[in-house]
Structure 1
Amino acid sequence: MPEGRKPYAEVSEMLELLAREAHTEEFERLVRSAREAGADEIEIARLTRAKDLSLSIRSLFARRQQREAGLSALVDTARDLTLPYNLDTLLKVITRRARLLLGLDMSWVTFHAFDEGVSYVRAADGHTSAITVGFGVPMGGGVGRQAQQRSAPFWTADYLRDESFLHSEPIDDVVRAEGLHALMAIPLRQEDTELGNLYVAGRGIRHFDPDELSLMSSLADLAAVAIEKTRLLDQVRNEVAGLELNTSRAMSSSAAEHHLRRVHGELIDVVLEGGGLPALAGEAAVLLGGPVLIRDQAGRDLYTSGEFPALDEAEIRVASLDAHTERRPVTSAGGAWIVPAVAGQEMLGTLLLAPGARTEAKADAAYWNQLLVTVAQVTALVLLMQRSAAAAEGQVRDELFNDLLKGNGSAAKLAERARRLGVDLNGPHVVIVARPEGGSLGRAVIWASSYAHQLSGLKSVEGGCIVLMLPGTDAGAAARAVSDELSTALGHPVTVGTAGPVKDLTGISGTYQEARCCLDALTALGGTGGTASPRELGFLGLLLSDSPNTGQFINSTIGPVLEYDAQQRTELARTLEAYFASAGSPTRAAESLHVHPNTVSRRLERISELLGPDWLEPAQALEVQLALQMQRTRRALLSRRHDQAGHAIG
């Protein structure tokens, strides 16, 4: 070691290099300088270890910065994909974003034609020659087949040399022609529908890390939602165009024909200009001559234009069922018009027109019905676009929630990500794990996204279960609300475990595990279709909890008895202990208490009034005995602490 140098001076210099993000060569030069200055082998080994750790830390920070940059780019992409493109333009946006996210040479999108066994290229980006729009990619081999079979991204660092998967000669020829090495395929799926694959490729050998796979998987999810939205938008445009054509042929009055065309044009302009439900409802109210009410698929009011009169909800439910079943406008007994807002086969909501709306257009029944259907179709389009935008943002919110559930990252970084997304994590939250016992999980996921958004919460999907984190302090009440609404939406029972509240970000992962344990316990106890929290599971919940609250268990089990004893100076708790100790014999209990058996009987009657008539049922009786033992143990511990404190003072 050079003279005058402190033992850890070089290590301090390592930290300074790390702080100013110095080049790797400067770290190596510091070790060489120490060796040239005559440092011993121990000192050299210590410096080498410090150098390696410093470079590892720098690499870790670089990966995290890269991941945050990727997530930021993904948010920008999500916003970009919500714009009203046509399908070809949208696919060009997707391929360009995919190529730029990973800094690769090429990207392309294919759509499956299962009946032909081929997946056709619909858009490509980068310097390509062999991969052009219309090129047929065989579905029997290559990385695309692996991604489709696994329903997950599949990649290879060097395609032609990789023998771990089945090759296809036409694909191999294209790879050679383009000079490609690294290749990744990501499946495009919308719920249970396989749309195609998204590919990214580079002309150098490259290994993809888990963060890059996650990033591309999220992009593919966003792209699938945007593609489906755009297809439905094109479908609505075609239907509207067809409706205009059919209407123009059927109309006998040129004035009516002009009016219907103007309606179509104005409403489509509202959608394309991003006016949303308020603008659409206002425009529809003017065109239809009366107040308009828009409801979602669950029957909840979304927006009202004007003063909408009170409705007989039972009557409206019957009329709505007829409207959605027959896919046509119907009137309720009270005169309100109910029109289904649908896209394809999916019911998105309902448009209601108040009784007494303008009547001159109703003289031609066919024209009036077409007018109502057109307004409802455009309403469905707006609902679909809003849901797609929410789904895009939801991908990023889901990433945050998954990290909270797994405890990934520091509390400060998680809080900052939450702040950027407008998620308030400062107050108490409860965690809910809901398992549908039938029905489509995709439908349950859509419901959960809407429900979490309405309540300013977060949602995720883990192992076939919906996981929700919602603001609140009553976990049991929140679980029952989720069970009621989700089971109604699915038409199947839902089993729900819950825990909380939790106020600390670092405690969310543990609270989730408690809720999961409650769900498993409920299943093991034959409670499928029910709800349970640690408090509701009684002593079993106490065992499942990461932070058992014995005081709460005692109060919830025998609290009324203890309170009565304290207020009336009675001995009901002592009578309970004697009763259980004597195997449920009032006579023997009276002997141990030195009172008359009638006294014990009266005390037991009072206990039944306080605890309810079922306190002697086996399950509740067990909890009462456990609570009594815990209370006795707590008293003994408190007495001992008091005695010890007295001795210390003395």
Structure 2
Amino acid sequence: MSAPRDIEPTQGADVSVAAVLALLDLAAKGRPDERDAVTDLLLTERLDTATVNQVGRRVRELQGAVARLRRRGQELSALFSSARELAELHDVDLLITRLVRRAHDLAGTDVTYLSEFDETTHELKVRSTAGAVAPSFQKLSVPPHTGLASKVVESRAPQWTSRYEQLHDVPHVESIDSAVRAEGLVSILGVPLIAGDQVLGVLFAANRDEHAFSPEEVSLLSAFADNVAVVLQSARLLTRTREAAAETQYAYDALAAHVEAMERASRVHEELTTAVLRGGGAADVARTLGAALERPVVILDETYAVIASSDDRSTASVIDPPAIRSAITDSLASGHCTLLNPPPGDFHAAVAVLAGEMMLGGLLIGAGGVELGAVEQRTIERAAQITALLTLKQDAVLYAEDRVRGELLGDLVSPDFRHHSSLPARLQARRLRPDDLRTVVIAVVAPEQRRAALRAAHTAAAPSGLAGEVDGVVTLVVPESDPQRAATAVRDRVCAGTGVGEVLTVAAPPAETLEELSVRFSAARDCCRVLAALGLEAAAVAADAYLPYTTLFAHDPTSVRQFIEHTIGPVLRWDAERGTDLLATLHRFVDCNASPARAARLMGVHTNTVLQRLDRVTQLLGSAWREPESYFRVSVAVRLQALSETVLDPSSHNRQRPQDG
């Protein structure tokens, strides 16, 4: 540095106090001015060149020292702030964002960003940015052994380039280069984030113009990176500690909940066992389980009728939507509780009540406060087993009673008169009056419905009658003196008890004495067989209405179809093939005592029409069909066929007589 020509320095001159103060101010700035203000100031004091250079060098050293102290102060401030945020923040992402912003302010570059090292993929993924604008850059991921970032990780030392596009000593990837170009970065400095022996990531400072990073800038960013690495490692450890604590708390809560559930299950099991020992029933199971689960519990029988509930639900209702049936069917196959998802209505779980492979009913669990976990589901299954035990116990009692009553009923309707002398005393022992046992009613149901039908029959016969199974059919002897009303009442009760739409019930004429009951039973049973052979499975009838047909075919009910086919089969086939209705004309002709004119009037057609149709019948059946013997057979066959084709209206209580046509 040369002195101005117009000033002649004076060797050994003193410096003024004002100049000293000015030099101290310049040193305190911590950075040199664009022009050399120190030299200019010293030359005004008329000092020699050597002195000017010596003082100027010392002032600039002071400026450097002050600058370093300020940087260290900034670093310490950043470190203290990071430590404070680490203690205050629970969100690691937010902490990293703040650290990057502080590094951005400290470095003074255009863009600052932090890439975190992924130990699984060994990629460096941009975690946070400050000053970046390109979306692609903010999601940048650098593969291993690629770009400046990988060079920093592998060397574990700062790396920088003043012009990224001229960086040729590292492999390039087009996706990374495109992101750098999109952000407009030219010069990039990267320093490693090292904690112990582990590289956590890289802290970058970049400019959008060419720039040669000075050792001070590299040192400053490296020092801050060391602080960031410590903070980041501490944050990771703190996060893991919190996660471990949360997992421990979760495990503790789960254990506490499990213990509570086990205690609740133990209480339920104890109360249900007590209910079994003291002779309780399904209502005790529903009430105990409902109180323990804080959920409504409904118990169904095998027909899905409600037999007990923890709330005040009517036991006359039936719950059998498809979802409920499907859930109980699944439980029947698996033996376990089935959760309903989505729940149909108010019910969230179902389990079948089983005895071996026989379904006795089901348990339905409604909505409530206690979660249906594994222990709760096992508790529900145990309750279903207790319900099965109670049901079997009650059935055993009923079976014993039924056996006594069944033997009594069997002797009542038996043709063996050897037991009749003891019947009055035996009836009196069962608190039954012989005069009340008037009408025999038989109900025809499928074998799988017989158990439910017998329960319904006992209800229908109580308290003055008897019900049971005789010769494989459900049989009742009731006080009702009107056979039709008796058949209808039993039909309605059995339909409700079995859950089926219709059953066949037949009532014999009332008996005047106990000895007549065996004959009435035979008449009702024969009538059932004939009607069943005709295909009638849904009716409530009085046996007397079908007495002629019963008399003819009781010995072989299956022959009734053969008789119809043999007698009027050609007429039936003619109608079926051509869509005609000769049978209706023939039926009306029979009803009108073989009078074509009367038949025509009743049918609303001309007599010649009836005669033409009868001629067709003659062609089909032969000319002898109107002879007395043949005509009788045709009349019976026509009435039987009309009876088998009659669609009985439930609203009419099935009182239609076959002769009504």
TM range (shorter): 0.3 to 0.5
TM-score scaled by structure 1?
Answer: 0.40
TM-score scaled by structure 2?
Answer: 0.40
